[in-house]
Structure 1
Amino acid sequence: MTEFQSITTILLGLVSFIIFLIYVKFLWRKSKMPPGPFPLPILGNFLQLCSDGLLPGLIKISKMYGPICTVYIGSRPTVVVTGYQAIKEVFTDSGDTFLNRGSVPFSECLFKFQGLSFTNGDTWRQLRQFSVQTLKGFGMGKKSLEDPILEEAHHIVEHFRSLNEEPFEPSTTLICASSNILANILMGTRYDYNNKKWMEILQKSSDAFQILSSIWGQLYDFFPTIMSFLPGPHRNIFTLLEPLQDEMMKSIRLHQDTLDPACPRDYIDCFLIRMRQEENNAGVKTPFTVSNLQASVFDMFLGGTESTAGTVHFGYLILMKHPELQDKLYKEIDQVIGQTREPRAEDRRRMPYMNALVHEIQRYSDIFPMGFPRATDRDITFHGYYIPKGTNVLPMLTTALRDPTHFETPGEFNIKHFLDENGKFLKNKAFLPFAAGKRACIAESLVRIQLFLFFTVILQKFTLKSVVDPKDLDISPTESATENIPPAHKIIFVSRRLEGGA
């Protein structure tokens, strides 16, 4: 054997030994983590998941391995948590153990670890505390916020009336209406439904979510490094969102030029004022920067708009699919508020059927079924399993919203899930569309009021009719992964006649 052959043999043996040690370490760590299917190198559990689709695949695996199992998203181990009880432990019963935001390749590329939702530690705490206090100051969760919501609802009514009962696909209009509530609080502005440039920006953002929830978005989540070099629709996600980012940045610059520290107009103004105050603390690292402002506004605007508009859209489809629901709602609306008085949030207490409808629409539409991953802040033991620091933990919100131990018919639309035997509204602790705990949706109170008022005002003024027989109307999501995307069906908005009218 030559000297070269000897060196080659030694090097191969050394490399093989190192690979063997790495593999043994991997097996040791995997044996202590929650159970799950064995992953392939690089691919992880992609083959098991892609055959069924990401969302049903994760649910299928959890049924095989239990409510706490491990799935490899590419090379990343992810602890998947299913069922209300286990999810509750992650959100509220484990302190700050699962408080960190987990790794999300799409969000990391888009937000670059900036902003309210995708930071951790003291940066996140300061941004969260500031945002909660500021939003409350502008009416979040208060009666004063009803007026701008009702104003927007009236704009929707006038827009639907202008259609003269012609079939109409409302998705972009609903996105604009939802965006205006947040635009008012965050940026102090409102966009008209006839603003073509703005409607194009919103449509592009919606298209980005469509791709993100498709197989292309899932491939990017599994293999971000590889997919960033490969052609495909996934490359358009960030391009489609650029116009909205630019609009947010344009608004921030305008606020900088017109800022009056004595009279803050909206969230951006308050953030800029705080930035000026922090400038006086020389040498102290602060999260109050333009990049964090832009990311926070973009994050709240994008997530809040998409989730609320999608829920309202699914609600319209459900009401067309089940027209008998509308008859019961008309009766309650006419008895409690009539056909001319504006509804108010306080009316929810006297409108159990409408309140139950809104909750069941949220539960059934399940807009963000997988929620957003958390991460462990240290090595922990959870349910007897070892979970290393920094491991992604994915609480599957859909499995709480469809937990058969809390909902009688979890896979069906059933308004009785939120009504007791006397027809009164019934709370359900497994109702977690906003997540829970310290990282729960910051705009939960806003969304609750907005959904109630939007549905009540529209049903006070219109009957929603399908262009096809309701029995033939398919309201299944067109995509179901990161987001459940409602199908694009046309709706006829038929004006209701006033009582005593001709």
Structure 2
Amino acid sequence: MDVLGSFLPLSSSSVLGSALVLLVAYAAWSSASRSSEPRREEPPGPRPLPLLGNLLQLNLHKPHRTLLEMWKKYGPVFTFRMGPNTVVVLAGYKTVKEALVEYAEEFGEREPIKTAKEVKLSHGVLWNNGDSWKEMRRFALSNLRDFGMGKKACEDKILEECQHLLDVFKNFRGEAFDTQQPINYAVSNIICSLVFGSRFRYDDPAFTARVERTSRSIQLFGSPSMQLYNMFPWLGHWFYSGSRELRSLAMANRKQATELIQGLKETLDPQSSRGFVDAFLIRQQQQEDSGDVGHFHNTNLLMTVSNLFSAGTETTSTTLRWALLLMAKYPHVQEKVQDELRQVIGGRQVQVEDRKNLPFTNAVIHETQRLGDIIPMSLPHRTSRDVTFRGYFIKKGTIVYPLLTSVLHDESEWEKPTSFHPQHFLDKDGKFVKPDAFMPFSAGRRVCLGESLARMELFLFFVTLLQHFCFRPPPGVSEDQLDLTPQVGGTLSPAPHKLRAVAIISTTELN
């Protein structure tokens, strides 16, 4: 569906009339503004229409695909007008790395889009900027490490959760089922353990409701209509109700988080923190005692908890779902993984230290992350000051998209960029190697703070599941018929599907 197909059915004659008037006014203003500015070399790009920009050239269902095509035409640094907003797109491994690492300060701010502002996501660690962001990120990273992120304590939590997930899969007794819900619950519980200090049962209605609301919010966030709303918020009350649904979901999650935090506050022991929330409350009390709460206020606490829960669940669970789908589609790869697991681990429980002895398994996980391309456009950045980058002038406050999909599919970096090819991560001797162009967690100041946790979860969950099950298509469906076309939302996730988890009778019967 093209942009007009998404937009026109939702419009009215009065809206179009108002838009025409604004379009003419904008064109006059834009022309006058340009004439008063000194000419400097700006990134090239397609010629925009007044007000609409390059909207009619944008595939709202696959915007990253449009930008990939523009990269081939205009080069690794180009301008694209998303409605009235000027966006600079950075494409290709070398360009993206240079911008995010070597120009970390200049390209390191976050652009809080309209919907993020409406639900107060401009606080916390994901959409925040300035001293508040620095303090929250530093505090979150330090305390998550204290509570085991990337360490043995966290490994034990994940392995415990693996057993709960195995029980759910076993209950289907080899019948086809949708893996999304149980995997979401399992991954969410790891975040809950670190943040709240405890896990939740998969049949806890409050817990499951929060997981479902978070999943729905992320789906809405990247929808075509929401993209239009972010570009033209002044048309929002005419053509889109999704922003109201998003606010409703955010309010429900915030209310539940507030209740959980209040419960923890009432039982708080300053001498013994149970998780991130406890650590924040203790620090908040210390700040209050000194007469200056600073950045340790309730809004930052709520938003940081929300950021950790959504970001820490969706990307990892989506990657695991891709991994199982790929195993069912490519049974020869699945067999090779299980052969390696049998030879190295046998029937015992996997440990993180086993990773160094499982090069092919590790390569499969990394290739799943690369091909899955979970966040193809990254989250929007913003320039903190005027900058000249690769010969082009980019003004302060310009929205910037580091196109991560162009890095993970860069033809100059990957032998088979569009295929599932675990050999990308193996040398000629079969040893694991990680190319520099592997950047699913982004890079620089905004690199994912939960990278070490995600890597541990992916390895332990994937290996545990492959030790106990062979994943196959539903009855009547062949491997070739399994569809790898992603469903576009806030992330690129597998389209709805079912798989069979066929129990392995023993470690020698991997059939």
Query: Normalized against structure 1, the TM-score is what?
Result: 0.92
Residue by residue over 1:373-431, the C-alpha shift from the partner in whole angstroms, topping out at 9 and shown as x without a partner, is 11111111111111111111110111111111111111111111101111110111011
Q: 2:217 aligns with which of 208, 213, 217?
A: 208
Matches within 5 A, 1:425-464: 425-464=432-471
Which segment is superposed worse, 288-297 or 57-66?
A: 57-66
Q: Which amino acid aligns with 1:327?
A: E
Q: Does 1:325 align with 2:333?
A: yes
Q: Does 1:193 align with 2:187?
A: no
Give the structure 1 partner of residue 385 of structure 2. 378
Q: Aligned pair count?
A: 484
Residue by residue over 1:253-287, the C-alpha shift from the partner in whole angstroms, topping out at 9 and shown as x without a partner, is 112211111111100000011111111343x5711
Give the structure 1 partner of residue 473 of structure 2. 466
Q: 1:347 aligns with which of 354, 374, 379?
A: 354
Query: Normalized against structure 2, the TM-score is what?
Result: 0.90
Over 3 Å counting, the alpha-carbon distance change for 1:22 and 1:216 in structure 2 is closer
CA distance in 2 between partners of 1:21 and 1:201 (Å):
46
Q: Does 1:391 align with 2:398?
A: yes
CA distance in 1 between partners of 2:494 and 2:295 (Å):
37
CA distance in 1 between partners of 2:128 and 2:274 (Å):
26
Report if the CA contact (8 A) 1:111-1:118 is conserved: no
Report if the CA contact (8 A) 2:112-2:122 is conserved: no
CA distance in 2 between partners of 1:52 and 1:237 (Å):
19
Over 3 Å counting, the alpha-carbon distance change for 1:51 and 1:441 in structure 2 is closer
Residue by residue over 1:415-448, the C-alpha shift from the partner in whole angstroms, topping out at 9 and shown as x without a partner, is 1110111111011101111111222101000000
CA distance in 1 between partners of 2:328 and 2:376 (Å):
23
1:328 shift after superposition: 0.5
Which segment is superposed worse, 309-318 or 50-59?
A: 50-59
Q: Does 1:137 align with 2:117?
A: no
CA distance in 1 between partners of 2:229 and 2:443 (Å):
28
Percent identity of paired positions between Structure 1 and Structure 2: 36
Matches within 5 A, 1:108-187: 108-187=117-196
What are the ranges of 5 or more consecutive residues in structure 1 without an aligned counterpart? 1-15
Q: 1:261 aligns with which of 252, 261, 270?
A: 270
Q: Does 1:230 align with 2:217?
A: no
Q: Which has the larger radius of gyration?
A: 1
Give the structure 2 partner of residue 9 of structure 1. none
Which segment is superposed worse, 463-472 or 110-119?
A: 110-119
Q: 1:219 aligns with which of 196, 204, 228?
A: 228
Which segment is superposed worse, 57-66 or 21-30?
A: 21-30
Which segment is superposed worse, 273-282 or 452-461?
A: 273-282
Residue by residue over 1:287-342, the C-alpha shift from the partner in whole angstroms, topping out at 9 and shown as x without a partner, is 11010000001011101101111100111111111011111011110111102x11
Matches within 5 A, 1:55-70: 55-70=64-79
Report if the CA contact (8 A) 1:358-1:452 is conserved: yes
1:246 shift after superposition: 2.3
CA distance in 2 between partners of 1:500 and 1:353 (Å):
19
1:197 shift after superposition: 4.1
Report if the CA contact (8 A) 2:225-2:240 is conserved: no
Q: Which amino acid aligns with 1:23?
A: S
1:495 shift after superposition: 0.7
Report if the CA contact (8 A) 2:61-2:224 is conserved: no
User: RMSD over aligned Cα, in angstroms?
Assistant: 2.1
Q: Secondary structure at the match of 2:485?
A: coil
Q: Does 1:407 align with 2:418?
A: no
CA distance in 2 between partners of 1:251 and 1:71 (Å):
43
Q: Which amino acid aligns with 1:54?
A: P
- Over 6 Å off, 4+ runs: 16-19
Residue by residue over 1:52-88, the C-alpha shift from the partner in whole angstroms, topping out at 9 and shown as x without a partner, is 7422112222221111011112211111001010100
CA distance in 2 between partners of 1:297 and 1:90 (Å):
29
What are the ranges of 5 or more consecutive residues in structure 2 without an aligned counterpart? 1-23
